[in-house]
């Protein structure tokens, strides 16, 4: 009977080791998945960061163009007003 008990104890010990290995494998698997997820998210964030940087630089360039166009509109309006005033002066005084 002690032999059976010994072999049962040995079997229980084996099952305990198998469960322990199984638990370690599960932990390794979960940690590996979390690591892959983390690196995937980090890579995705870098791509988004590059996209946002390119958009910011494009917006800056567009703002610069807009400012130049607004200045040219103001200059053209001023020139048009001066030209109209000169044309009116050279036409002579208003008769009325």
User: How much is the pTM?
Assistant: 0.40
User: Phi first, then psi: what are they for 95, rounded to 5°?
Assistant: -100, 125
- Return the pLDDT at 62: 96
**Residue 46 Cα distances to 50, 52, 60, angstroms:** 6, 10, 21
Q: What is the pLDDT of residues 18-31, one digit of tens each?
A: 667 777 888 888 89
In angstroms, rounded to a whole number, what is the distance separating the alpha carbons of residues 47 and 41?
A: 10
* pLDDT tens digits along 65-96: 999 999 999 899 999 999 999 998 888 776 54
Structure tokens at 45: 């964030």
């Amino acid at each position: 009977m002690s032999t059976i008990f010994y072999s049962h104890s040995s079997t229980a010990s084996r099952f305990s080791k198998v469960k322990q290995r199984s638990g370690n494998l599960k932990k390794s698997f979960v940690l590996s998945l979390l690591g892959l997820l983390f690196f995937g998210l980090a890579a995705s964030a870098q791509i988004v960061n590059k996209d946002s940087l390119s958009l910011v630089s494009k917006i800056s360039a567009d703002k610069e163009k807009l400012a130049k166009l607004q200045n040219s509109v103001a200059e053209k309006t001023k020139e048009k007003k001066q030209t109209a005033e000169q044309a009116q002066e050279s036409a002579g005084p208003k008769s009325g």
